[in-house]
């Protein structure tokens, strides 16, 4: 069993990412089989580009995301961890897959449909680059190049895996052989979703995140901004309706969570609850922050780890591409 997780470097990683994405993905390495993780830098290029971003921004984002996953426990000795752009076979394979993909499939891709849904006029595609439109085909290459069995995804990404499977089936049917392994989506239905500072889902797009590696004082300052109501400090409170409690529960032990719930029911001031949360989050992230800072102080060590991962991954992609070349009559 080989599983694949892609990580797009498009912004600063936050506490919601740790709970909802990083931890569940890292558990794959303990589930048996082979786990592959990659930094999807060419996927990020659809949005990380001038005038809003520079080349230096892309380089920094790649290093930050890689350092964050390594700091949170990703062990490159146990898994294959690489940068997408270090696997050139992916991009030749993408072209081959494109030649077996109907435009109608891409018209129905959720991300593209969402972009044009409310547009009117003669050019609903204004401002949409072909990278955004063809995103599912590069993702399909990311998957089938490595004979992937399962791709853990949220509901919004299931369609991309289904497109990869459909393209692989079409190619296998066209050439009468099992050239490409058919991947399956592994739906992460129970991934935790943390509320942000305003109570809505923690998301960069809402500007309500708690950056994972913020310094301790800044971390506490941000947590003190969490929106609360005007319930008096000594009044009983329902922990299940509290943003503070929901975040606390995601990082604390079961015993710690029960103890805080009791304090809620007997009466606790919001300021005290926030201080408890800040202290618990700091306990949780401080060791990872130290590892992150050490990695970012010398990005060459990150590059070396990613290069070593690419050296493990490339032969697999090469074999897949060679099979495809022979099948379509372009073998050398």
Q: Which domains are delineated in the chain?
A: 2-193+298-328 (3.40.50.620), 213-292 (1.10.240.10)
Work out the end-to-end distance of the chain between its first and last CA atoms, rounded to an integer number of angstroms.
Answer: 31
Give the confidence band of 246 by pLDDT, cuts at 50, 70, 90: very high
Check: CB of residue 139 under 8 Å from CB of residue 311.
Answer: no
Could you tell me the two tokens for 130? 């072909």
Residue found under tokens 């072909």: 130
**Strand, helix or coil for residue 108:** coil
- Give dist(CA 266, CA 233) in Å, integer: 10
Residue 29 backbone zone (phi > 0: left; psi -120 to 50: alpha; other: beta)? alpha
- As a whole number, the mean pLDDT across the chain is 93
N residues, the chain: 332
Could you tell me the two tokens for 315? 């032969």
Give the confidence band of 120 by pLDDT, cuts at 50, 70, 90: confident
Residue 292 backbone zone (phi > 0: left; psi -120 to 50: alpha; other: beta)? alpha
What is the structure's pLDDT at 27?
87
Q: For residue 83, what are the β-bridge partners?
A: 39
∠306-312-316 over CA atoms, to 5°? 125
In tens, the pLDDT along 135-162 reads 999 999 999 999 999 998 888 889 999 9
In tens, the pLDDT along 67-112 reads 999 999 999 999 999 999 999 999 999 999 999 999 998 998 988 9
What is the structure's pLDDT at 189?
63
In tens, the pLDDT along 186-225 reads 887 656 789 999 999 998 888 999 999 999 999 999 999 9
């Amino acid at each position: 069993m080989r599983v694949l997780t892609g990580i797009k470097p498009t912004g600063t990683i936050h506490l919601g990412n740790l709970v909802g994405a990083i931890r569940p993905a890292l558990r794959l390495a303990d589930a048996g089989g082979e786990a592959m993780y990659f930094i999807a830098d060419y996927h990020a290029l659809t949005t990380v580009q001038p005038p809003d971003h520079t080349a230096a921004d892309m380089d920094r984002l790649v290093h930050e995301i890689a350092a964050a996953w390594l700091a949170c426990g990703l062990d490159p000795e146990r898994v294959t961890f690489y940068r997408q752009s270090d696997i050139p076979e992916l991009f030749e394979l993408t072209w081959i897959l494109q030649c077996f993909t109907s435009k109608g499939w891409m018209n129905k891709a959720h991300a593209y449909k969402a972009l044009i849904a409310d547009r009117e006029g003669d050019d609903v595609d204004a401002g949409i680059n072909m990278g955004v439109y063809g995103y599912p085909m590069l993702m399909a290459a990311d998957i089938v190049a490595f004979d992937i069995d399962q791709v853990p995804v949220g509901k919004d990404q299931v369609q991309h895996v289904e497109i990869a499977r459909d393209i692989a089936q079409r190619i296998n049917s066209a050439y009468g052989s099992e050239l490409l392994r058919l991947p399956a989506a592994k739906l992460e239905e129970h991934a935790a979703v943390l509320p942000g500072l305003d109570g809505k889902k923690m998301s960069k797009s809402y500007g309500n995140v708690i950056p994972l590696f913020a310094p301790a004082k800044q971390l506490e300052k941000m947590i003190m901004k969490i929106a609360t109501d005007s319930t008096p400090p000594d009044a009983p409170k329902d922990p299940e309706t509290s943003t503070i409690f929901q975040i606390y529960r995601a990082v604390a032990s079961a015993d710690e969570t029960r103890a805080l719930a009791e304090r809620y029911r007997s009466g606790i001031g919001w300021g005290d609850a926030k201080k408890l949360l800040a202290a618990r989050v700091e306990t949780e992230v401080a060791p990872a922050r130290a590892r992150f800072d050490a990695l970012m102080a010398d990005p060459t060590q990150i590059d070396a780890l990613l290069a070593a991962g690419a050296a493990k991954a490339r032969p697999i992609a090469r074999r897949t591409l060679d099979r495809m070349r022979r099948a379509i009559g372009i073998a050398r």
